[in-house]
Structure 1
Amino acid sequence: MEKITDKDILFEDNHYIAVNKRGGDIVQVDPSGDKSLEEMVKEYLKIKYSKPNEAFVGVIHRLDRPVSGMILLAKTSKGLDRMNRLFHDRKIEKTYLALVKNKPERISGKLTNWLLRDRKKMITKAYDREVKNGTYAELDYRIVGHLDGYYLLEVKPLTGRTHQIRCQLAYMGCPIVGDNKYGYPRGSSRRTICLHSRSLEFVHPIKEESVTLTAPLPIDGFWEKFDVLLKTSL
């Protein structure tokens, strides 16, 4: 994707803008040289508001390149600072959706591991015990439903570690569909995996109002058929 349009915007006010990121897009510039979501949002705001200079866009949190869904960015430095504080203090409830082929042993549960980043291989390894230089990671999951041989999981990470959901689900024996980096037998030609940032819930740090932002599933010929499971689980 080279640009974003109004249909990609899930929320906007004076301080924040939420985008439904497409799997395969990078959030910030990286060595690939591909256009980043941060750059695309700057262009979108510059055109929308006829700004003579570059628009301010602050990256609050990140999603891995192959992951789709909700991402929130700041439009002001004040908004960036205050939202960074909410993320740091874990006052944001994050919900993801993941598709796996292997059924978890339990319908719902909590995963707690120590994660160690292998920077040479660019992967994260999970351990049951504390390891040197490791970081504690915790998430809750539940099975939403089952369709066509796939299990849809709702995942709520309580910590925010690099590749946390991908790594912990794989360690549980349930690698995410398409995530051959973490043990799924084949990757996707679209450079995506079936992990979707579904929603963010928080108290707006400036307006002091409760906010719930939700990103619809990707329309890619595969993901959207799982909407039926979301509707029946409500």
Structure 2
Amino acid sequence: MASIDQTDELQQDDELYEHYSFTAGKGQEPLRVDKFLMNFIENATRNKIQQAAKSGNIYVNGTVVKSNYKVKAFDVVKVLFEHPPHEYLLTPEDIPLDIVYEDDTLLVINKPAGMVVHPGHGNYSGTLINALIYHFNNLPLNSNERPGLVHRIDKDTSGLLVVAKTEHALNHLSRQFFEKTSEREYIALVWGNIEEEEGTIEGHIGRNPKNRLQMAVFPEGDQGKEAVTHYKVLERLGYVTLVSCRLETGRTHQIRAHMKYAGHTLFNDERYGGDKILKGTTFTKYKQFVENCFKALPRQALHAKSLGFTHPVSGEFMRFDSEIPDDMQEAIAKWQHYAKHRDM
């Protein structure tokens, strides 16, 4: 498997590139470099990788290679992808926003599942940022030059986000998230029957060295960053459990990685294996039932339900709540019905 050296963006010849670097593991069998890269780069088609090779933008051990080069153990593979110009990435788009609260300082948005928060490789339009810069002028830039963005949630996770409208609000809110004084509660449907009524999952989170599209938990703390998730069982539904998760930290894929580590992968979380039947029977009728649940909820069962923070100007602590979206409610209702009749 490959280990990841770095993922960053480089400004080169007035074009924006996305730069990936991987080191093949000691057990790496010879594999075409285009296929090798397909295993590690999200949203990158084989055609796009082959185009990078034709442009001389794939390097192995510092030398430009063609797409048919066979990667071997310990090879260092680097690739550059051309982005559209930065201005295109920040094109305003008239996309409706579900605004829960707004004043002169900030706004709270209920993001639908399927919306990417900010532009990136494979997602150049239709993002929350594209919508924000259409509806609002002069939003402050965060450290990654993303207008108004204090924090983010995954594309297929629904729920609440706070957006800053002033520099003071951006700094004040960002500090609260850093110092863990903000409150965030998520509702998740996970595989398996969680034994404890409530508990805490701790373990550093960092990139999975075997699959960079996943995050992994490093309980010894030798890699990644500190991550703490508090959970509480809301309802036991047989082979799945509905839980509330409160974040003490805010790492990428934190709940998804922590729950998988605890043996309770999120329901229909394709990236972490939750789109398979992980618990239950071998009956054909049960398999069909689970498939129907997957169809009702074609994403990971995760919703950012509530959000709390201190207002940057008034000093008032504000809490916001949102309804669980219809797709997730439908899947939960199916499991409630199944659990009720299973126990009869």
For the criterion TM > 0.5, the same-fold answer is yes
**Percent of residue pairs identical:** 26
User: Are 1:94 and 2:184 an aligned pair?
Assistant: yes
Aligned partner (choices 147, 165, 169) of residue 259 of structure 2: 169
Aligned partner (choices 200, 217, 221) of residue 307 of structure 2: 200
Report the alpha carbon displacement of residue 93 of structure 1 after superposing the two structures with TM.
Answer: 1.0
Deviation per CA, 1:36-59, whole angstroms, max 9, x where unpaired? 1021122234xxxxxxxx442410
Contact 1:28 1:38 in 2 (8 A): yes
Aligned partner (choices 175, 189, 214) of residue 123 of structure 1: 214
Report the alpha carbon displacement of residue 138 of structure 1 after superposing the two structures with TM.
Answer: 1.0
1:126 partner SS: strand
The answer for unaligned runs of 5 or more in structure 1 is 46-53, 229-234
Report the alpha carbon displacement of residue 177 of structure 1 after superposing the two structures with TM.
Answer: 1.1
User: Are 1:85 and 2:175 an aligned pair?
Assistant: yes
User: Are 1:42 and 2:150 an aligned pair?
Assistant: no
Report the alpha carbon displacement of residue 60 of structure 1 after superposing the two structures with TM.
Answer: 0.3
Deviation per CA, 1:134-155, whole angstroms, max 9, x where unpaired? 2221111010113475321000
User: Are 1:3 and 2:95 an aligned pair?
Assistant: yes
What amino acid is the match of 1:9?
I
Aligned partner (choices 325, 329, 333) of residue 218 of structure 1: 325
What amino acid is the match of 1:84?
S
What amino acid is the match of 1:21?
K
Deviation per CA, 1:57-116, whole angstroms, max 9, x where unpaired? 410001011111001111112211111111111110111110113111211101111222
Contact 2:260 2:266 in 1 (8 A): yes
Label 1:223 to 1:38 Cα distance change in 2 as closer, same or farther (>3 A).
Answer: farther
Aligned partner (choices 2, 16, 21) of residue 111 of structure 2: 21
In structure 2, C-alpha distance between the alignment counterparts of 1:107 and 1:40, rounded to whole Å: 40
Match of 1:138 in 2: 228
Label 1:225 to 1:34 Cα distance change in 2 as closer, same or farther (>3 A).
Answer: farther
In structure 2, C-alpha distance between the alignment counterparts of 1:109 and 1:97, rounded to whole Å: 15
In structure 1, C-alpha distance between the alignment counterparts of 2:240 and 2:333, rounded to whole Å: 11
TM-score (norm 2): 0.58
In structure 2, C-alpha distance between the alignment counterparts of 1:165 and 1:37, rounded to whole Å: 22
Match of 1:76 in 2: 166
Contact 1:218 1:224 in 2 (8 A): no
TM-score (norm 1): 0.83
What amino acid is the match of 2:113?
G
What amino acid is the match of 1:103?
N
Report the alpha carbon displacement of residue 34 of structure 1 after superposing the two structures with TM.
Answer: 3.1
1:167 partner SS: helix
Choose 121-130 or 208-217, whichever is displaced more.
121-130
In structure 2, C-alpha distance between the alignment counterparts of 1:60 and 1:21, rounded to whole Å: 14
Match of 1:49 in 2: none
Match of 1:152 in 2: 242
Q: CA RMSD in A?
A: 2.5
In structure 2, C-alpha distance between the alignment counterparts of 1:172 and 1:18, rounded to whole Å: 31
What amino acid is the match of 1:201?
G
What amino acid is the match of 1:63?
I
Report the alpha carbon displacement of residue 126 of structure 1 after superposing the two structures with TM.
Answer: 1.1
In structure 1, C-alpha distance between the alignment counterparts of 2:160 and 2:238, rounded to whole Å: 26
Contact 1:28 1:36 in 2 (8 A): yes
Contact 1:175 1:183 in 2 (8 A): yes
Label 1:118 to 1:193 Cα distance change in 2 as closer, same or farther (>3 A).
Answer: same
User: Are 1:103 and 2:193 an aligned pair?
Assistant: yes
Report the alpha carbon displacement of residue 225 of structure 1 after superposing the two structures with TM.
Answer: 4.2
In structure 2, C-alpha distance between the alignment counterparts of 1:105 and 1:73, rounded to whole Å: 37
